[in-house]
Amino acid sequence: MKTSFFKIFAVVALISFTSCGNDKAKEAETKAAEEAAVAEQTAITFNANTENSMIEWKGFKPTGSHNGTISISEGSVSVNDGNIESGNFTIDMGSIVVTDIPAEEEGNAKLRGHLTSADFFDVEKFPTAKFEVTGISVVEGKTMLSGNLTMKEKTNNISIPVSTTVEGDTMKLTSETFTIDRSKWNIQYGSKSFFDNLGDKFINDDIELKVTLVANKA
């Protein structure tokens, strides 16, 4: 399956939970996993620049909100005659950073510890999440990237709006802010999808994300 080089991959990933206001980001279309795109032998590889690539997250619960970043640890895109043919990216779940609480404050380490614990992403057992490209489409004038997102051994296919720029041998992709429903990846803590009688102690199922991906020609 070929897709335009100027319309490529973003990922995923990950963390925390967002409120449901009228202006909240749109949830990514989510469906069953699909067959990954396969590149021809003549394809050229573009590798993720991990120092300049990241996922921003923001989350809310009734008593407040938090935000931060997470890193893309490796990845590549195969390009043939200007078209993307495949792509695979790895998200380092242990790289979760909290940015709304000063690093020196106790609450920063406490929140990060909770997010990486078995309550949420269980980083010790599941140190990475993965995204593999399955296709590109244009919907209502927007370029939509589709791919299989795997977290905690659960895989769903998501479609997210993206835009890209290319300068020389470097490509930069950014997504619009979007959400995924964490319950679809079996992340249960504080979720009304799994527990009753939570009152105002719940955490919203939505994870709000924005992806920035930089890739360089190999």
Residue-wise pLDDT tens digits, 183-196? 999 998 778 778 77
pLDDT at 96: 97
Q: Rounded CA gap, 165 and 163, in Å? A: 7
Whether residue 13 is predicted with pLDDT greater than 60 in this model: the reply is no
Question: All domains of the chain, ordered by start, with CATH?
Answer: 3-217 (2.40.128.110)
| Mean pLDDT taken over the chain | 84
Residue-wise pLDDT tens digits, 102-154? 999 999 999 999 999 999 999 999 999 999 999 888 889 888 889 999 999 99
pLDDT at 14: 36
pLDDT at 174: 85
Structure tokens at 54: 């990241």
End-to-end CA distance of the chain: 21
Q: Go through 38-73 and write b for each residue having 16 or more CB atoms within 10 A of its CB, e for each that does not.
A: ebeeebeebebbbeebbbbbbbbbeeeebbbbbbbb
Residue 171 makes CB contacts below 8 A (sequence gap 6+) with: 5, 8, 46, 164, 165, 214, 215, 216
pLDDT at 2: 44
Whether residue 97 is predicted with pLDDT greater than 50 in this model: the reply is yes
Whether residue 21 is predicted with pLDDT greater than 70 in this model: the reply is no
Instruction: Name the residue with higher pLDDT: 213 or 83.
Output: 213
Q: Rounded CA gap, 33 and 158, in Å? A: 8
Whether residue 10 is predicted with pLDDT greater than 80 in this model: the reply is no
pLDDT at 98: 97
Residue-wise pLDDT tens digits, 32-73? 999 998 888 888 788 999 999 999 998 878 888 899 999 999
CB distance 194 to 54 below 8 Å: no
Whether residue 201 is predicted with pLDDT greater than 80 in this model: the reply is no
Q: Rounded to two decimals, what is the model's pTM?
A: 0.83
